[in-house]
Structure formats: C-alpha cells, structure tokens
A and B are shown apart, each in its own frame.
Chain A
Amino acid sequence: MANTVLIGQYVETHSLFHRLDPRTKLIGIFVILLSFLLLESLLSYVFATVFVAGLLILSKIPAHVVWRGLKPILFILSFTFIYHVIFTKGTVIWSWSFFELTQEGLYNGIRFVWRIVLLVLLASVLTLTTKPLTLAHGLEKLLSPLSKLNVPVEQFSLMIVIAIRFIPTIQQELDRILLAQKARGFDIPSLSLPKRVMSYIPILVPLLFTTIQRAEQLTYAIDARAYGNGRGRIRFKQQELRRIDYQVWGIAILIALIPLLLKIAGI
C-alpha cells in the first residue's frame, strides 16, 4: 500500500536531477507546471510531451515506476474523458438515443487527459528524484525569508518532516493489526469491497490511539532536546546552490516561456 503513496516514491538512480538542489527542482518544476496550464495547440502539446519524456529519460527513472505512479489516477483520467465526451456540445459525429458524441467533446477529452498525465509525470520527476526529507528542507530554505515576518517557517518544516516520517510507522502499525486479525481467522483483504471498508473502521480506533500516543511521546522527546530554545537549528548537510542549479533555473524559464509564446502567436 505504501508503494502507491506518491510521497514515498523516491528512486535512487544517480542522475543529474538527483544531484540538483531541491530548491532548483521545486522552482523549476513549479514554473513549468504553471506554463503547462497554457497548453492549447497540438504543437504545444507535442512540445510538452517531448520535454517531459526527455526529462524522465534524463532522470533514469525505470518505466514501470512511472507507470506505477500513473495507475492511481486512471480513474480520474477516465472520469475526465467521459465527462468531456458527454457534456461538450458541438458537431455530432455519432449518436445513440439521447447520447451524442461530438468532435469537440472528443477533442476536449483527449486534451484534458493528456494535460493531466503531463502534469502528474512532471510532478513525479520531483518526488522520484528527491528524498522527502530533502524536499522538506528545501521548502524550508525557500520560505526562510518569511520568518522575518514572524511566519513560523521552521516549525512548519518540522511538521512536514514529522508527518513524512510517520507514514511508514503508521503503515507498519496497520500491517501488524491486519496480520493479528488474519491470525485469528479474519482476513480483511480477502473480503468483498463493502465488507472490507466496514472492517477497516474498528481498526482505525487503535491506530489513531497509538498514533496519538506516539505523537505525545515525540513531543516530550523534542522538548527534552530543548527544541525552540536558542538561535534555531543548524543542518548537518548544507544545501548550496551551484552553477548547474542556476543554469537549470535559466533553462526552466526558457521552457516555461515556449507554451506562452506559442499561445500568444496562436500556433
């Protein structure tokens, strides 16, 4: 189950993207994501697809890992496609009873599904090439100027780090309870879907209980290490922007400009 959670999908492939500063990846991908919202013409879609494919090849992510990341959104993709096909009015290609398949509906359906796939793949490059904790630290550094305005950036980052760290712990706890139930002759995963959903409810009680207990213990442990006193925390691994990072920033801005220019030019 944990493998399908996007947050834990880091893959070590020693590519250029793995070595980049997390801030570079965060800003670069964010800017390009925004520009992908402007995709309009077939040419711009082809450009974006070639770019994302190139990015995935450069990051050396195996194809099955990319596919695994797409699987959970297949339902959303199907729903988006069907929604556009059914509700878009225009030139009718084929009809049956009250249902009309229009040229525009088909076009919109394909366009939106294509765009969502591109956006998800682009965001995956970030999570697949950056460890969650590194990402959280990068975000903290990026937001650090806000701490001058009394925004608790460091606490916010710590919260994210703890939340990420707790995911496998809760997963382990859940597995343990499920195994204990299986040993007592009650195998939840083998039940039908409605029964399975209902069977998970009583498990949530002890899961929530132990999680709150752990959170409380963690609070004491953090307090015991004098967190919050003094001049703030320093890091063992310092994140520094190198020349390659600035070069990637430049390339990202150029890439982001292309869909914008194509839109303005009406191509």
Chain B
Amino acid sequence: MVYQLSHVSVHYSDQEALHRISCTIEEGKWISVIGQTGAGKTSFVKVLKGLVPHIEGAYTIDQQPVQRDAKGQLKVIPGIGFVFQYPEHQLFETTVHKELAFAMKHQGCSDQQIMERIQTILPLVGLPEEILSWAPFQLSGGQKRRVAIASVLMMEPKMLIVDEPTAGLDPISRTAMLQLLKSWQQQQSNRTLIFVSHQMEDVAEYSDEILLFHKGHLLGQYDPAVLFLEQPYVVEEAGLSLPEPVQLLNLFEELSGRKIEVHSIREEDIIRAIMPIWNTRSVVING
C-alpha cells in the first residue's frame, strides 16, 4: 500500500499545525517521525489515521482519495492501528479480555474468532493468558501498555502508528517494547510502522526512513545514515541532538583526525568501526 499526502495543511482554531505537507509512505518500512515538541508530529500521524476531520490538500491510499462522510469530513481509516501517548491511561473495560475484544466485538466478530486472535496476539506482546480475567487496573505500568498495544493489534492493521511508545518506561521495558514493535513489523513484509519519538538513539537504531518536522513544516524524508552523518546540521537546525553513537563517532573522527567509514548508524556497527582506533590508542598508551 502507498499512502500519499499532497500539500496537506491542518488548522486548529487560528493556529496552523501543519503547513503544506507532501510525502509518500511505502509499506514494509519502519518510519520514524521526529521533531521538537509542538513541531506537528502528532498532528501528522492523526491525519494519517483520519482523526483530523478537516484537512486542506489531498490524501490518497493506493492513489484512491480517502473516504469522507456526508459533511465532507475525513473518515477514520480502519486498516491503520493507532497507539496514543501513554496508552495505559485509555484502558476502559472491566477485564483485559473485554479490552482486547472491544474493537472486534463492534465489528460483529464471534467469540471464537476473538479468542483465536487473542491467542496469536498475547505471545507477540509477551503477556500470559491468565491475565485475561484481570482488571486492567491490576496490571503494572509496562503490562498495561502491552495490553493497550495488543488491543490495537487485535484489528490486524497493515500500518501501526505508535506515538512515543517508550515514554516513561525503564531501560529494560523500553528495549522490550522496541523489540516487540520490530518483531510485529517484520512478521509480514507489508507491515509499516510509524514511530513518533524524541529518542534519537531508538530512531537511529531501528528506522528505515525518517520524517523530520519543524514548526509545522516537513523538512524532509531522509535515509537515517544520510541525515545523521551527512546532513547533521539539518537535525540541529530542527532543535534536535544527534544520536549518542553518532556523537561518539564524530568525537573519534575529531580526535583521530581521520574519516571513519561506517556501513550503518546502528550502535553495534558504529562501535565495530571505532574499536580498531580505540585499540590502537590503548597500545600507544600502554607502550
């Protein structure tokens, strides 16, 4: 599927939240949306899901304009899952089972179908089956967030939008959450993940593409290595910092006085590239 926005603008009261955004999102990718607070990231992903009723410009999916209701307002797009910030605050059913079944029940699915889907989703998000009878309020913060994500995955979306999914999580839960999202995205080649985040390290580690926002404008759609290594000034102009591994790489280049070749900006690859220089330096010190 190809999602295409063309000159899309969004206004809230008198304020312009998005200014003439044009971009194409192709399936099967992990696409990160970055920018300072108030840059327009959340507005952009809400437009993708059809949660902003009035937009200027065109939004097409596979070259077909998205559906509008009788009043001309954008309709919610069913094939896209949306996990909001702090999704654990939005759990409202009395049991985890009801919470997970909520969307499918309103689609008219049978109990059997719902149960089958629950059994495939639970292992994916790393939750045991016994919690199905628990009240969502009995769960820990991390578990609640997994339940909230699972309840969205129950609808088998082709695209999943996650708005700062790791905010407020401890380092171990954060890594587990990112792994969960990665494994969901990689299960099928046509799954797309839209990842809104302030954590540049996570963005550098997982992204196939980056959409950079600044004050309601889309500054560009970048390959992560190109953006962070070749055009770091764009990131800084947008008020963001470079990922820590990239900063380390830059420091090593500055101290050693030579260009270090890296194949990707993943932490592991950068460490592998700088280790020979580090080792050489320690030999000199020891000698």
Contact = CB atoms under 8 A, between A and B. Distances in A.
Interface stretch (A5-13, A97-105, A119-127, A172-180): A172-180
B89 A185 contact: no
Contacts of A210: 89
Interface residues of A, number: 18
A228 B82 CA distance: 45
A184 B137 contact: no
B90 interface: yes
A205 B92 contact: yes
B184 interface: no
Contacts of A182: 51, 76
A147 to B, nearest CB: 39
A203 interface: yes
Nearest to B86: A176
B92 A183 contact: no
A67 interface: no
B76 A177 contact: no
B90 A176 contact: yes
Contact of A186 (B49, B87, B103, B137): B103
Interface in B75-108: 76, 78, 81-82, 84, 87, 89-94, 102-103, 106-107
Interface string A176-207: 11011111111100000000000000110110
Given A184-B151, A185-B106, A209-B137, A203 B76 contact: no
Contacts of B82: 183
Nearest to A177: B90
Interface in B19-71: 49, 51
Contact of B84 (A179, A186, A187): A179
Contacts of A173: 89
Interface of B: 49, 51, 76, 78, 81-82, 84, 87, 89-94, 102-103, 106-107, 137, 151-152, 155
Query: Sorted from nearest, which 5 A-B pairs have the closest CB atoms?
Result: A180-B90, A183-B82, A184-B103, A206-B92, A186-B106
Interface of A: 173, 176-177, 179-187, 202-203, 205-206, 209-210
13 contacts: A176-B84, A177-B90, A179-B51, A180-B87, A180-B90, A183-B76, A183-B84, A184-B102, A184-B106, A184-B155, A185-B76, A185-B78, A210-B89
